[in-house]
């Protein structure tokens, strides 16, 4: 018991010093600098205590917007936008977020790259190079049905094989 009390006293003193340091005028918080291509962890808040899908996900930064918003892309080529305060740098050495396009199955909530809506999955067209999804009615010119054979989006059509 005396050792536990001594350890508790030491921890309280250390916490007091850290609190005084962070609340003092000389404290300057570390500013996170993110670059395009960096890997980050994205922390999602759980909907409830039983939500297991809210863990840390590793994403790659595709673009940085002015007010601190990052455009992030995961291994499934899905892009989302979130604020940089919800991201932490990821320093894992062996990350590979490439996917095999022939075995890729899009999730049901995959958004259109034009309107960013996830509804009307039956009229969704996917690029055979980058797996970006587009509604048939969001394309210019608008398509009536899914084309036969390979289809490439406007950004991939110049580099398509």
Intrachain domains 39-89 and 100-161 with the same fold: no
**Which tokens go with 35?**
């670059």
pTM (2 d.p.): 0.45
The C-alpha angle with vertex 55 and arms to 95 and 91, in degrees rounded to 5, equals 30
Residue 15 has what pLDDT?
A: 94
Q: Kindly report the average pLDDT of the chain as a whole number.
A: 78
**Which pLDDT does position 60 carry in this prediction?**
85
Q: What pLDDT digit, counting tens, does each position of 11-22 carry? A: 999 999 989 888
pLDDT average, residue stretch 85-109: 68
What is the residue extent of each domain of the chain? Answer: 39-89, 100-161
State the residue for tokens 């009390």: 5
Count of residues making up the chain: 161
What pLDDT score does 72 carry?
Answer: 86
Q: Note the CATH architecture for domain 39-89.
A: Roll (2.30)
Give per-residue pLDDT as tens, 22-75: 888 777 777 778 888 888 888 766 666 665 555 567 888 888 888 888 888 877
Query: What CATH code would you report for 100-161?
Result: 3.30.40.10
- pLDDT-derived band at 6 (thresholds 50, 70, 90) equals very high
Segment 81-102 mean pLDDT: 73
Q: Which residue has the higher pLDDT, 78 or 84?
A: 84
d(CA 124, CA 154): 16
* Percentage of the chain lying above the pLDDT 70 cut: 78
Check: CB of residue 126 under 8 Å from CB of residue 136: no
């Amino acid at each position: 018991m005396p050792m536990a009390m001594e350890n508790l006293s030491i921890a309280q003193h250390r916490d007091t010093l850290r609190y005084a340091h962070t609340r003092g005028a000389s404290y300057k918080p570390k500013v996170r600098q993110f670059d395009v291509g960096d890997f980050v962890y994205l922390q999602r808040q759980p909907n409830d205590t039983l939500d297991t899908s809210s863990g840390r996900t590793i994403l790659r930064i595709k673009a940085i917007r002015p007010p601190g918003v990052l455009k992030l892309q995961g291994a499934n080529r899905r892009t989302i936008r979130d604020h940089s305060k919800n991201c932490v740098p990821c320093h894992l050495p062996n990350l590979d977020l490439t996917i095999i396009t022939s075995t890729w199955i899009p999730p049901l909530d995959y958004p259109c790259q034009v309107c960013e809506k996830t509804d009307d999955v039956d009229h969704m067209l996917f690029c055979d190079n980058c797996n970006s999804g587009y509604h048939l009615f969001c394309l210019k010119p608008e398509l009536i049905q899914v084309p036969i054979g390979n289809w490439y989006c406007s950004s991939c059509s110049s580099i398509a094989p």
